[in-house]
Chains A and B, each alone.
Chain A
Amino acid sequence: MLDSQPAKSFDQTQIPPSGGVPVIEIENVTKIFGAGKEAFTALDDVSVTIQSNEFFTLLGPSGCGKTTLLRVIAGFLDPTSGTVALDGEDILPMPPYERPVNTVFQSYALFPHLTVRQNISFGLEMLNRPKSEITETVNEMLALVQMEPMADRKTSEISGGQQQRVALARALAPRPKVLLLDEPLSALDFKLRKEMQLELKRLQHETGITFVFVTHDQEEALTMSDRIAVMKGGTIRQIGGPRDIYDHPAERFVADFIGDTNFIEAELLSTSDAGAQVKLASGMEIAASALGGEGSGSGRITLAIRPEHATLDGANGALLPGTLADVVYFGTDTHYHVDLDSGGRFVVRRQNQPDQAQTGTVGDKVGINFAPGIGQVLRD
């Protein structure tokens, strides 16, 4: 998909610029709403460091605290405890209007009484920038988001996608150190959302501003981010690059929330720095990945295997023997549902090739294989 857009393409595996310096340092931040029995812990001792020039995503289901964390950074909420520093300076005592941080709101929150141009210049005017500089920057921003022809329209007279661009331009115009984006794409339709994902990446690249992006859409997070923090119940469950998180989820929640995963029971034989040795229900032994902290020594553990990382073979000598229960054709790929002999169901996904017949028919005895190191030992 990225290759078809050469002008805007990005290498999504790109590692954040090495030697990136910390921009935002969040330490032990806790936010409790209400008190007594009504108390609700929205953030529970969260610590995270966001690097300069990074596209950082807070990913999680609704109510996981990701928006709360964003609002703490923006200054709309005071944390119950903990510190937030920007460029090494404690920003918690500052009101929102003193923080060099701008927000793109989920509802865009464009000023309805102002034109597109006036919306974009608002922040610069509040900063008392000289008139000539404001005009220049606003024109630059209008060009950046390709909204020049609409500059003098009211915000109610432009489409949702255009409003989104104006909201971006308005937040970028004062050149904040960090841009906060609160699910900015959720109101757009599918096609526009895809476009804006690339657009956002491009803007981040061109401006060099650190983006902190909040979303509940795992695909969005994987496509756009340099690093992702997966959140649940007010805590960060795992931080890493999209590939790390997808290939090596630390725990069941992360594996389940991002993409599809097969979970199988296994026995942990040993762990080392290189990984772990596990014994499957079939009695076969194989090397698996482990992030550490699974508990040393032996015991029952859960192994996560992505459907596209496993192959479907004959039953003889397979790691996981079973019976083919269902074959579902999806266009780009086919899903083979296998009832394992050891119990449970396993899905193998295979990319479709032109005029290629499906493998096997329902009821066949089949086996599932995967390479050493593919299975991921989960923490819980």
Chain B
Amino acid sequence: MSDHALNRRREERRARFLLLAPAMFLLLIAASGPLLIVVVYSFLTPGDYGGVVWEFSTKAWFNVVAQIDFFTEELTLADAHLSVFWRSLKLSLITAAMCLLIGFPTAYFIATRPAGQRDIWMLLIMIPFWTNLLIRTFAIMELIRNEGTVNSLLMAMGIIDEPIQMLFTEFAIMVGMTYVYLPLMILPIYASMERLDFNLVEAGYDLYATRMQVLRRVIFPLVKPGVVAGSILVFVPCLGAYVTPRVLGGGTQLMLGNLIELQFGQLRNWPLGAALSLTLLMVVMVALIFYVRAVGREEQRHG
């Protein structure tokens, strides 16, 4: 290769690097930077009025799962934290399952409409998405509170005498999150469903498969990528949800997001808040790894 060509290649490479640099810089600052700060903060000592004191400590991490009694100096598990963890995990799983239960038939319904109508149905699914999250959450609140639509209707019909307490329960949070995150389940499932060759469904029927068998043996395996994507898209933001549990849980049914906010706010324990955030991040990562692995194994067994 001539010197000339070599020079040109080197120049090209430099140009490419320079062009990429702003994006790389932004990524570093916007993604890794804050995360790094959180990691550092989780190993510091809380300041008296919020903020941190630059003094190394692992107390925050210790406090995530355990606590020492103030008077007896007895070591116990941090029950309060663990119950919040458990509630977050449980409600997120149930919400993802509910979204799948409602979202899958919805996506199937839309995908089987005539081509011209599908866009309208998708638009209807998207419209709530453009509304402020807080307003949507308050709308749910209006529905399920003691003097709300559901209770009034049930009482008017004489089915119940006293309103059912739904607001400020785990049920309320679950309903709220299902409503808020449902489009995130429908969209990816619809995307895979739309690509589905419906000749395959006919072939299934032709080969003696009943409706349920066609669903289980033909449709579901083929739209599984959409189901996986949708489940992740719902599960992950649910784990860290803040607004919905705050409004519908009424401050008594804390989830991880609320617990973290508390540390940075009223409790003025920034290192603990940082440690809890990182714990959430790790929980999500572990859950995803398990989920993706399980799905992959399934694929190998059937595929």
- Seen from chain A, the residues whose Cβ lies within 8 Å of a Cβ on chain B are 74-76, 95-98, 101-103, 105, 107, 109-115, 122-123, 126-127, 154, 170-171, 174
Pull 25 A–B residue pairs with CB atoms less than 8 Å apart, ordered by A.
A76-B205, A97-B205, A97-B208, A97-B210, A103-B202, A103-B203, A105-B199, A105-B202, A105-B203, A107-B197, A109-B197, A109-B199, A109-B200, A111-B203, A111-B204, A112-B222, A113-B221, A113-B302, A114-B303, A122-B207, A123-B207, A126-B210, A170-B207, A171-B207, A174-B207
Contact of B206 among A96, A107, A110, A114 (CB under 8 A): A96
For residue B130, give the distance in angstroms from its CB to the closest CB of chain A.
Answer: 36
Does B303 lie within 8 Å of A109, measured CB to CB?
no
CB closest residue in chain A, given B198:
A109
- Chain A residues in 8 Å Cβ range of B208: 97-98, 123, 126-127, 174
Q: Pick the most buried of A76, A95, A110, A126: most chain B CB atoms within 10 A of its CB.
A: A126
- Tell me whether B202 and A96 are in contact (CB under 8 A): yes
Interface pair B221/A102, CB less than 8 Å apart: no
Determine if B203 and A126 form an interchain contact, defined as CB atoms under 8 angstroms apart.
Answer: no
Known pairs A113-B221, A113-B303; A103 contacts B200 (CB<8 A): no
State the Cβ distance, A77 to closest chain B Cβ, in Å.
Answer: 11
Shortest Cβ-Cβ A-B pairs, 4 listed: A123-B207, A109-B199, A126-B208, A109-B203
| C-alpha gap A154/B213 in the complex (Å) | 21
Cα of A74 to Cα of B217 in the assembled complex, Å: 21
Contacts of A95 in B (CB 8 A): 205
**What is the total of A-B residue contacts with beta carbons within 8 Å?**
63
- What's the nearest-Cβ distance from chain B to residue A102, in Å? 6
- Say what secondary structure dominates the interface of chain B: helix
Give chain B residues whose Cβ lies under 8 Å from the Cβ of A171. 206-207
Bound: A112/B202 CA distance, A: 14
CA distance A55 to B200 in the complex (A): 26
Within 8 A of A (CB), among B232-246: none
6 new A-B contacts at CB < 8 Å, known A97-B208, A115-B303 = A97-B207, A109-B203, A122-B217, A123-B207, A126-B207, A154-B303
CA distance A105 to B204 in the complex (A): 12
| A113 partner residues in chain B, CB cutoff 8 A | 221-222, 302-303
Write out the residue numbers on chain B whose beta carbons fall within 8 Å of the beta carbon of A107.
197, 199
**Which residues 189-221 of B have a CB within 8 angstroms of A?**
197, 199-200, 202-210, 213, 217-218, 221
CB distance from B200 to the nearest CB of A (A): 5
CA distance A347 to B141 in the complex (A): 85
| Cβ–Cβ < 8 Å partners of B206 in chain A | 74, 96-97, 101-103, 171
Closest to A126 in B: B208
Among B202, B209, B210, B302, contact of A109 (Cβ-Cβ < 8 Å): B202
Residue numbers in A under 8 Å from B213 (CB-CB) = 126
Q: Which residues of B contact A (CB under 8 A)?
A: 197, 199-200, 202-210, 213, 217-218, 221-222, 302-303
* Cβ-neighbour of A76 out of B202, B209, B218, B221 (below 8 A): B202
B216 CB to nearest chain A CB (Å): 11
The complex places the Cα of A330 from the Cα of B217 at a distance, in Å, of 53
Assess whether A126 is in contact with B209, with CB atoms less than 8 Å apart. yes
For B221, give the chain A residue with the smallest CB separation.
A113
Nearest to B303 among chain A residues (CB) is A113
- Taking CB atoms, residues of chain B closer than 8 Å to A74 are 206
Task: Specify which chain B residues have a CB less than 8 angstroms from the CB of A109 in the assembled complex.
Answer: 197, 199-200, 202-203
Closest to B302 in A: A113
Q: Cα distance A76–B222 when bound, in Å?
A: 22
Beta-carbon nearest neighbor of B213 in chain A: A126
Q: Closest CB of chain A to B272's CB: distance in Å?
A: 47
Q: In the docked arrangement, what's the CA distance between A46 and B31, Å? A: 69
Residues of B within 8 A of A126 (CB): 207-210, 213
Which chain B residue lies CB-closest to A112?
A: B222
Chain B residues within an 8 Å CB radius of A76? 202, 205
CA distance A244 to B234 in the complex (A): 66
The residues of A that contact B205 with a CB separation of less than 8 Å are 75-76, 95-97
Bound: A95/B203 CA distance, A:
13
Given contacts A96-B206, A123-B208, A126-B208, contact A111 B200 (CB under 8 A): yes
Once the chains are docked, how many angstroms separate the CA of A115 from the CA of B205? 19
Residues of B within 8 A of A154 (CB): 303
How long is the Cα–Cα vector from A154 to B303 in the complex, in angstroms?
Answer: 8
Q: Which of B202, B206, B222, B303 has the most CB of A within 10 A?
A: B206
The answer to whether A102 touches B197, judged by C-beta atoms less than 8 angstroms apart, is no
B194 to chain A, nearest CB (A): 16
Complex Cα distance, B203 from A105, in Å, reads 8
Q: Shortest CB–CB separation between residue A88 and chain B, in angstroms?
A: 21
- In the complex, A97 Cα to B222 Cα: how many Å? 20
- Report the bound CA distance from A141 to B175 in whole Å: 52
Nearest CB on A from B75, distance (A): 52
Candidates A75, A97, A112; contact of B209 at CB < 8 Å: A97
B70 to chain A, nearest CB (A): 59
